[in-house]
Amino acid sequence: MTNNRIATVRLGATGPEVGVQGLGCMGMSFAYGPSDAGESRATLERALELGVTLYDTADAYGAGENEKFLSPFFKAHRDEVVIATKFALSIPPDDPTRRVIRNDAPYIRQAVEASLRRLDVDVIDLYYMHRRDVNVPIEETVGTMADLVREGKVKQLGLSEVTADELRAAHTVHPIAAVQSEWSLFSRDIEPKVVPAARELGVTLVPYSPLGRGFLTGSFATAEDLTSDDFRRRQPRFTGENAAANAALLAPVRTVAEAHGASLGQIALAWVQQQAAVHDLPVIPIPGTRRPSRVEENAAATRIVLSEEELALLEPIAAQVAGDRYADMRFASAGRE
């Protein structure tokens, strides 16, 4: 089993060595329809056996439920796992269905305490600002996050969906270890500005939704295939004519997959992993899955190397994708660049 372990890479300029692929844990409690808790737990254990050590959650995933669900696994393997969680999507007391972005100090202070309590750990290894509240200067937000480092509540800092300018401003206050943003064969809007800024500053890129929220695996072709509570039913890329047009874009992925005897998802993951070499910076994708067999398949993708010809075949896909990656693009850095 251990000879299947994936390669490692440093997280941030001074952080720990972690597996070159992490695990997105969101779907275990939130967003992608019903989950089986036993199968999710087996997935976590199998991931660790394979050398996947960076585990990604957020306080917003299931309003704290995801952090609570992961807590026993983290406690059992505290020295082996690197725990990443996030703050910023607050739940207003008068309407639990809404989310309000908060980056102010009082909010961050209560959020970190709540995450530490739910995770039942003394320190969070990587603490991200999940979304940007443009009403609070980023220097102020990162100043508060830096205080948490000095107080020993948090080890490293990360930012999700920030622009290049926001990243540069933040980095003057405290080193940023990681930027987490959507990056996949379908979503490449961070490449012109955010990726070069990260490379220049020594920041690790953590691509989320590297499988295009599952669409790049071919496991669903339209929102109609998903359960009624699935978040993806409201995403522009997966509905109506957009879904049909986007499914047709998988043809070159299929061609490359056949050449490697690999799945579509493995080619999507190999492509994003290979962006580390293309852009010369550390890249740690965090595909999300709740199934042990899929974590094996995904981890194995770290060993696939695509040729220049294959990269060229995949190159035109992103520019042809129909529909934005969010219904409201202010949620994404590209909406503010």
Ligand X SMILES: NC(=O)c1ccc[n+]([C@@H]2O[C@H](COP(=O)([O-])OP(=O)(O)OC[C@H]3O[C@@H](n4cnc5c(N)ncnc54)[C@H](OP(=O)(O)O)[C@@H]3O)[C@@H](O)[C@H]2O)c1
- Positions marked catalytic: 61
292 lies in the site for ligand X, by CB under 6 A: no
284 and 323 Cβ atoms separated by less than 8 Å: no
Q: Helix, strand, coil shares of the chain as percentages rounded to 5?
A: 45, 15, 40
* Among 15, 51, 288, 323, contact with ligand X (rule: CB under 6 A): 288
Q: Write down the least CB distance from residue 140 to ligand X, Å.
A: 21
Residue spans of alpha helices (H) in the chain: 37-49, 65-76, 105-119, 138-150, 164-173, 194-201, 240-248, 251-260, 264-279, 292-300, 308-314
Residues in 128-187 at the binding interface with ligand X, rule: CB under 6 A: 130, 160-161, 180
291 lies in the site for ligand X, by CB under 6 A: yes
Calpha distance 185→75 (Å, rounded)? 35
Is 26 or 198 the residue whose CB approaches ligand X more closely? 26
Calpha distance 128→58 (Å, rounded)? 9
For the window 92-131, what string marks contact with ligand X as x by the rule CB under 6 A? --------------------------------------x-
For the window 230-269, what string marks contact with ligand X as x by the rule CB under 6 A? -----------------------------------x----
Residues contacting residue 320 through CB under 8 Å, at least 6 positions apart: 245, 249
Which residue minimizes CB distance to ligand X? Answer: 24
* 214-244 burial: b if 16+ Cβ within 10 Å, else e: bbbbbebebbeebeeebebbebbbbbeebbe
Is 94 or 154 the residue whose CB approaches ligand X more closely? 154
For the window 57-76, what string marks contact with ligand X as x by the rule CB under 6 A? --------------------
Q: Tokens 């939130």 sit at which residue?
A: 30
* Among 14, 110, 219, 320, contact with ligand X (rule: CB under 6 A): 219
Calpha distance 289→188 (Å, rounded)? 22
Is 18 or 308 the residue whose CB approaches ligand X more closely? 18
Is 41 or 151 the residue whose CB approaches ligand X more closely? 41
Residues in 294-333 at the binding interface with ligand X, rule: CB under 6 A: 294, 297-298
Q: How many angstroms separate the Cα of 128 from the Cα of each of 57, 103, 180, 321? A: 10, 11, 8, 29
- As given in the structure block, the two tokens for residue 235 are 């995403």
* Among 6, 11, 101, 286, contact with ligand X (rule: CB under 6 A): 286
Task: Give 53-80 as a DSSP string.
Answer: -EEE--TTTTTTHHHHHHHHHHHHTTTT
- Contact region with ligand X (CB under 6 A), list: 10-18, 24-32, 105-113, 271-279: 24-32
Q: Write down the least CB distance from residue 251 to ligand X, Å.
A: 18
- Contact region with ligand X (CB under 6 A), list: 133-141, 168-176, 237-245, 283-291: 283-291
Q: Which parts of this chain interact with ligand X (CB under 6 A)?
A: 24-27, 32, 56, 130, 160-161, 180, 208-214, 217, 219, 265, 286-291, 294, 297-298
